[in-house]
Structure 1
Amino acid sequence: MALTSIGCGGQGPQVDPHESAAQTRLETARQIDKEQTFDRVTALFNVACAYPKTQYAAIALQQATRTAIHANRRDVSLWLGSKLAELSETERGLSAESIWLKARLMVDGFGDYPAARQLLRRLYTHHAGSPRADNALWMLADLYRVIGAWRKAHETYGILAQHRLDRGWFIGSLRSPYTAKAALLKADIEAYILDDFAAAVASYRSFTSHFSDSPLIDDALLSLAFSYLRNHKKNAANGILSQLGERKLSTDQRKMYRLLLETPDSQIPIPKRLYSTASPRPKRLR
């Protein structure tokens, strides 16, 4: 809840009346039965319209979008989508959030991936400084991956992998929460889809340098060893595998470790992290 100071000699910090009013109206909107979908979505959207500069505006829009999607009401989603489009043009402070939520509506409400991709590209292009830019890049890359547009996915993960890469003075102060996973997936596409093992080696080595404390480090090291083997650098691969032999690996990681160690020329399955349940199993590109 936002506070405002009334200066020296006053009674101390006070609650911003706009924040308080927005919170009250949001709670009222939340009380509307979920079965009354249109009334609930309208009430939530109107909170954002009435109090666009409060912290509750974005919360209200998020809940309106979630309600419309879960209700599976096409008419409500169409109405909300048009309103979000208007809001993105008229209320600068809510523009990025409105575009992001309309993209979510296109994906989860309509399954309209082309429209979602267009919105996500617009969000990243026009609101690169917004916290939603990272969300937009991640979803855009994921949508490319789902339809098998691997080169587009690779390009997009590459942008995100460099986004706010440096930590700054405080650990984790600037780095995007998506950066490490995007960097790994970019390298994975090079190794397992494009068969560009020289590029994959460089990308995995960059990952181990920048993200040595990441929970994904063992996945990166295993794939680095795989890429070294495919790049005919067996000694380098064995050096990585000797490090991994002393680490606590998951069942899948241990299985890959043994394959690389015992039968280095065998076909290595494409990692599960490269495909989701909504997408077909990827094929290597030639």
Structure 2
Amino acid sequence: MGFPGTWMTESESVIYRVVPKCACSTIGQIMFYSDHGRFFEGDIHDSTARLHKWAQEGSQALIERRVKAQNTYAFTCVRNPYTRILSSFFDKICGIQRNGKRYRGNMVPLLVQKYGIEVGGDDGKAEFDQIQSFRRFLLFARDSIRWRKPMEPDIHWSAMSGHVSTFIANGGRYNKIFYTETFNDGMADVLAAIKTPHKVDLKAIPKFNESEGHGPKRAHPVEDYFDDLSMHLVWEIYKRDFQLFKYDFENPGNKMPIGAIDLDEVHAKLGE
């Protein structure tokens, strides 16, 4: 199994477990900058050198050695499940991707046909009932995660706890898990705990959002997208995320956590 989704600076100063839709572009660029004093030109997900990634064969032995030794600072970042699944819908389902095509080829036409989802026309710019379509997408997300039908679950809407757990199950341990919602505070804690070749001024770092502009803008407050049935589906998919990462399930309009993450609890429950 190894350590999928794990990145490490070339200087081996820090290890990061990527969780999709949780500021991963910004975090990757900060890691790149901390080593090289400049940002990667383009989307950091496209880099193939100067940042170790598990997906790069030449990086795997280095990452595995460091992770298993547990002597390199390791962290990840999480996000409110309600806003994360909404962001996935607007970016991946409604949006046109960087290559000018729909995400995952035939997936969107399949959802239009099987679930009656609208996505704003061929270019994603036409008006459509966002709330109705999002709720139908939630049914698809639940079906793919629960029954792996009509296709395997996607990393962008599969549970955060699943991503976080592979790192623990294969011998890693996190020093820090912080919130996208309080990003600067969390990232500052990480940077304060490690030594980097180049100093990072968080106040001067732009937000790198590879999904920005892909899809239509959200037309309503977050809570308007979630009725009782939608909340039930969200709980079915993300129960563990709410419990471990201390988000407010009862109020979709509250994006902020309602408690502090207990790292010992996370390691105990996700390492089972």
TM-score greater than 0.5 by the shorter chain: no
Larger Rg: 1
Which structure has more RCO (C-alpha within 8 Å, separation ≥ 6)?
2
Task: Give TM-score, length-normalised by structure 1.
Answer: 0.24
Task: Give TM-score, length-normalised by structure 2.
Answer: 0.25
